[in-house]
Amino acid sequence: MSMPPVQSLIAIHRQGHNVGLYSVCCSNELVLRAAMDVARRHDTVLLIEATSNQVDQFGGYTGMTPSQYRDYVLALARDENFPAQRLVLGGDHLGPNAWQKRPAEEAMANARTLIEAYVAAGFHKIHLDCSMSCADDPTPLPDATVAARSAELARIAERTAAAHGLPPPVYVIGTEVPVPGGEASLAGGLQVTTPQAAEQTLAIHREAFAAPDLIAAWDRVIAMVVQPGVDFDHSSVHDYDPDAARALADFLERQPRIVFEAHSTDYQREDGLHALVRDHFAILKVGPAATFAYREALFALAAIEAELLPPAQRSDLPQVLERCMLEHPRHWQQHYHGDDDELRLLRAYALSDRCRYYWGEPALVAAVQRLFDNLRAHAPPLFLLSQYLPEQYRAVRAGALANRPEALVRHRIGLCLDEYARACSANVAGPRAADGRAAAAANG
pLDDT of the residue at 340 = 98
pLDDT of the residue at 4 = 86
Helices 288-308 and 362-377 sit at what angle, rounded to 10 degrees? Answer: 50
Q: What is the dihedral of CA 241, 246, 248, 254, to 10 degrees?
A: 150
pLDDT surpassing 60 at residue 434? no
Instruction: Give the mean pLDDT of 112-134.
Output: 98
% of the chain with per-residue pLDDT over 90:
91
pLDDT surpassing 50 at residue 182? no
How many residues are present in the chain?
444
Per-residue pLDDT of 314-339, as tens digits, reads: 999 999 999 999 999 999 999 999 99
pLDDT of the residue at 190 = 84
pLDDT of the residue at 430 = 40
Average pLDDT of the chain to the nearest whole number: 93
User: In DSSP terms, which residues pair with 25 in a beta bridge?
Assistant: 49
Name the residue type at position 378. H
C-alpha to C-alpha distance for 204 and 349, rounded to whole angstroms: 41
pLDDT surpassing 60 at residue 177? no
Q: How confident is the model at residue 183 (pLDDT cuts 50, 70, 90)?
A: low
Instruction: Give the mean pLDDT of 108-129.
Output: 98
Q: Which pTM value belongs to this model?
A: 0.94
C-alpha to C-alpha distance for 49 and 183, rounded to whole angstroms: 18
Q: Where are the domains of the chain?
A: 5-286, 291-415
pLDDT of the residue at 176 = 78
pLDDT of the residue at 185 = 58
C-alpha to C-alpha distance for 389 and 347, rounded to whole angstroms: 22
Do the bridges between strand 237-238 and strand 231-232 make them parallel or antiparallel, or are there none, so unpaired?
antiparallel
C-alpha to C-alpha distance for 432 and 430, rounded to whole angstroms: 7
CB under 8 Å to 11, separation ≥6 — which residues?
A: 3, 257
- The pairs formed by 54-59 with CB atoms below 8 angstroms and a separation of 24 or more are 54/27, 55/27, 55/91, 56/98, 56/114, 56/117, 57/110, 57/113, 57/114, 57/117
pLDDT of the residue at 442 = 30
pLDDT of the residue at 1 = 53
pLDDT surpassing 50 at residue 437? no
Per-residue pLDDT of 291-315, as tens digits, reads: 999 999 999 999 999 999 999 999 9
Q: Which CATH architecture has domain 5-286?
A: Alpha-Beta Barrel (3.20)
Q: Tell me which CATH code domain 291-415 carries.
A: 1.10.400.20
% of the chain with per-residue pLDDT over 70:
92
Per-residue pLDDT of 1-40, as tens digits, reads: 568 899 999 999 999 999 999 999 999 999 999 999 999 9
pLDDT of the residue at 429 = 39
Do the bridges between strand 170-174 and strand 237-238 make them parallel or antiparallel, or are there none, so unpaired?
unpaired
What string of H, E and C letters represents the secondary structure of the chain?
CCCCHHHHHHHHHHCCECCCEEEEECCCHHHHHHHHHHHHHHCCCEEEEEECCCECCCCCCCCECHHHHHHHHHHHHHHHCCCHHHEEEEEEEECCHHHCCCCHHHHHHHHHHHHHHHHHCCCCEEEECCCCCCCCCCCCCCHHHHHHHHHHHHHHHHHHHHHCCCCCCEEEEECCCCCCCCCCCCCCCCCCCCHHHHHHHHHHHHHHCCCHHHHHHHCCEEEEEECCCCEECCCCEECCCCCCCHHHHHHHHCCCCCEEEECCCCCCCHHHHHHHHHCCCCEEEECHHHHHHHHHHHHHHHHHHHHHCCHHHCCCHHHHHHHHHHHCHHHCCCCCCCCHHHHHHHHHHCCCCHHHHHCCCHHHHHHHHHHHHHHHHCCCCHHHHHHHCHHHHHHHHCCCCCCCHHHHHHHHHHHHHHHHHHHHCCCCCCECCCCHHHHHHHCC
Instruction: Give the mean pLDDT of 139-157.
Output: 97
pLDDT of the residue at 184 = 54
Helices 362-377 and 317-327 sit at what angle, rounded to 10 degrees? Answer: 180
Per-residue pLDDT of 190-220, as tens digits, reads: 899 999 999 999 999 999 999 999 999 999 9
pLDDT of the residue at 263 = 95
